[in-house]
A and B are shown apart, each in its own frame.
Chain A
């Protein structure tokens, strides 16, 4: 699919939204718009797959979060391409990209910005922090103490930053992709629950398969830069203003009452599930449904199925629940308990 053919439909879709249309042609137009949106998203997905080899599941989930307007926390050991993924994503949709490397001495004002006194104009001038961007990569977010991590709370939820008493909106779309090292590493501060809850998905990035790692090494060693994959070769398939349109299409994807009920039942089950010290809040149900919609769109579905929900559930729930201490001592994983939960909650019935 060429760049033109993929961006064109969205413009039309944009036009469709404003143009009044007859009731009969409206359904067909919506269907074709949906189809084009799916094609576009899949093109982006394929393009990202060229940059980040062997992590197709992570790419899918990051795209889901982008379509659903959520933020993503990516956990994994260093060197698996977390930063590369974010750079490739920024490249593919042509938006602004900023990166903050979190360190123990990072201050909140280093994230949001601050006012400086300008001697020439004898006035305080606001200096915007790196959060004023489309894609924000918060690298190794758990290396900074809670004070600095909390600087992201407002911007993640409200999409605005309060500086010197003024609320300043950040550009749309805005997405935070935070990476963190596994909690048990040296010198890490665990994220507070409120912060964790604001991330729509928590992804686990794992080592690639043998074949894929082979391909990865082959490609990296061919590139002129010594140790990383080139993202300059990626085509910018999306424009900055396409993303809100895609998000709107995604949000309008129909979902049956039973499937909605299934989502709520899944999240509610986590609250009194034996093996979980505490379960997920209503924000999890919301995130689950939004993520399932995005997944359905990504897979070319015209409606949300229980399969979409079930596939999204681990990423949505795993950072919102806490494992019971007994199981933690036993060395069990949150994912194991969640798999059990998904295996026991009855799927929708008709």
Chain B
């Protein structure tokens, strides 16, 4: 393809300028690019949606995954159009399957997530490079594809913005009854099967967004590629020569021919010289003859004593070089990060005294704040204990059972080994002490053997309820009898029946014998 037929001016540009050129390229062929893209992708999306109607997410994923394959069509159109051979829509679509050859698998698998996809696609598709050759070529083009990466990231955002904008547009067109938030919510809160159409609608919106954006994206990547190549291969010079050649026609060709022949003879002469002079034989391979001993250079007195010395000539040459056309003054304005002024090292000068005062007062303030916080925590410790402890909740449940309850020692060690015997002994002289001892025994048993979470605040009635919840009928009956007797004695001053002590003692023996000792893990 002749470079001169390119419709864009090929010269080295700033990469972002090249991206801009890509946008212009896409604009110029917008109809063809968008049309071909839509004709290719929309039916495909339709087919995918019909096949996978129940899985709209999978449809979207597949469609998104196949984007590199679709991009080949856009690139094909662009590459042809750049050099004037714009294909028709039909031609482009027919050419597409042919374009899919060449590393399609790679571009759909491990290169799918490459951010510089748009920049490397022309390598694969237009230069038909693969494997090591492609790698080498990529290396030659230089991995300066930063702008291409940024382009992809930008593209992702543009896609998102356009997609959500389109969905919002649809939402704005909803009738009033539906756009009321409650109705909208009720619409969204339906069973997933009824919401499939909504997801397919969103998929279609995405496809429409791609119709607009993807050709632009491919064009931008393509122009980045062109830019890089024209930079490396001096396409602008080549084009200038070609234009020169075309303008001068045959005369030019002859002139060029003589120029070439002249150059060739000039280049061929040094070996001839070398053949003539023996001392210079060792420098036969050099293009220029080396200066001999008798030719020490411009500093020899013969030269320096001439009216125009080399020194003078040098100075004049420098003056000349400083003037146009050798020296060009160009003013460029660019965006830059502001220069930092505080680059001086910190130890240059100590901070001023007032600043130190301020720092000290801030320090005092912080310490006093800390002290106030500690004071407040102490002042409201009840609050903290009450409400912070509630959050811990279960931690308290794991605490070891208390050793004292209702002012009674309920630790198993504090009780006599043979409790019923002790009760029966006490009963005759002091029934109240005997009942208290048995009550303590019951509480200790409940706490340590049965793991009942008893607290100081539990009344006898609540203890009984807790016992009944254990589902142990004999124990509950025993507890009911004991607690009734205890309540009557303690709160009603009613002495218990004389034989109650022996009965309760016997029951207690049975109960403790029936249930094997089960230590509660503390």
Q: Which residues of A contact B (CB under 8 A)?
A: 254-256, 258-259, 274-275, 302-307, 310, 340, 342-350
B262 to chain A, nearest CB (A): 99
B493 adjacent to A256 (CB under 8 Å): yes
Q: Is B459 in contact with A274, judged by CB distance below 8 angstroms? A: no
Q: Is B457 an interface residue (CB 8 A)?
A: yes
Q: Which residue of B lies closest to A345 (CB)?
A: B457
Question: A341: nearest residue on chain B (CB-CB)?
Answer: B457
Inter-chain contact B382/A274, CB cutoff 8 Å:
yes
Cα–Cα distance between A307 and B487 once the two chains are bound (Å): 10
Report chain B residues within 8 Å CB of A349. 406-408
With contacts A303-B492, A340-B386 taken as known, whether A350 is within 8 angstroms of B436 at the C-beta atoms is: yes
> A347 contacts B456, CB within 8 Å?
yes
Using Cβ atoms and an 8 Å threshold, which residues of chain A touch B487? Answer: 303, 305
A347 contacts across to B, CB distance below 8 A: 406, 456-460
Residue of B nearest to A311 (CB): B461
Contact among B380, B408, B457 with A344 in the assembled complex (CB-CB below 8 Å): B457
- A255 — which chain B residues lie within 8 A by C-beta? 491
CB-based A-B contact count at 8 angstroms: 72
Give me the interface of B with A, judged by CB distance under 8 Å: 380, 382-383, 386, 406-408, 432, 436, 455-462, 487-488, 490-494
Closest 7 CB pairs of A and B: A303-B492, A349-B407, A307-B461, A346-B456, A349-B406, A306-B459, A256-B491
Looking at the assembled complex, report how far the CB atom of A139 sits from the nearest CB atom of chain B, in whole angstroms.
35
Residues of B within 8 A of A305 (CB): 459-461, 487, 491
Query: Once the chains are docked, how many angstroms separate the CA of A349 from the CA of B456?
Result: 9
Taking CB atoms, residues of chain B closer than 8 Å to A306 are 459-461, 491
B407 touches A342 (CB 8 A): no
Interface SS majority for chain A: loop
Chain A to chain B contacts (Cβ below 8 Å), 5 pairs = A303-B491, A307-B462, A343-B457, A347-B459, A348-B406
Please report the C-alpha to C-alpha distance between residue A255 and residue B407 in the assembled complex, in whole angstroms: 20
| A256 & B457 in contact (Cβ 8 Å cutoff) | no
What is the bound-complex CA distance between A306 and B458, given in angstroms?
A: 9
Distance of A117 Cα from B417 Cα, bound (Å)? 87
Given the complex of chains A and B, what is the CA–CA distance between A343 and B454 in angstroms? 11
Q: Within 8 Å CB of A346, what residues of B?
A: 406-407, 456-457
- Cα of A107 to Cα of B208 in the assembled complex, Å: 75
Q: Name A330's closest neighbour in chain B (CB-CB).
A: B387
CB distance from A342 to the nearest CB of B (A): 7
A275-B383, A347-B460 known, 15 other contacts, Cβ within 8 Å: A256-B491, A256-B492, A274-B386, A275-B386, A302-B488, A302-B492, A302-B494, A306-B460, A307-B461, A340-B386, A343-B457, A344-B456, A345-B457, A347-B457, A348-B406
Residue of A nearest to B456 (CB): A346
B410 to chain A minimum Cβ distance, whole angstroms, is 12
Q: Which residue on B lies nearest to A343, using beta carbons?
A: B457
Q: How far is the CB of B217 from chain A (nearest CB, A)?
A: 54
In angstroms, Cα B437 to Cα A27, docked, is 30
Chain A positions within 8 Å of B493 at CB level: 254, 256, 303
Complex interface: chain A residues within 8 A of B382 (CB): 274
Closest to A255 in B: B491
In the complex, A305→B432 CA distance in Å? 17
Q: Measured between alpha carbons, how far is A342 from B458 in the docked complex, in Å? A: 9
- Which of B382, B456, B491, B493 has the most A CB atoms < 10 Å from its CB? B491
Q: Which residues of A contact B457 (CB under 8 A)?
A: 342-347
In the complex, what distance in Å separates the CA atom of A246 from the CA atom of B407? Answer: 36
User: Would you call B386 and A304 a contact (CB within 8 A)?
Assistant: no
* Interchain CB contact under 8 A, A274 and B380: yes
CB pair A256–B490 under 8 Å, yes or no, is yes
Distance A340 CA – B390 CA, assembled complex (angstroms) = 10
How far apart sit A347 and B406, CA to CA, in the bound complex (Å)?
A: 7
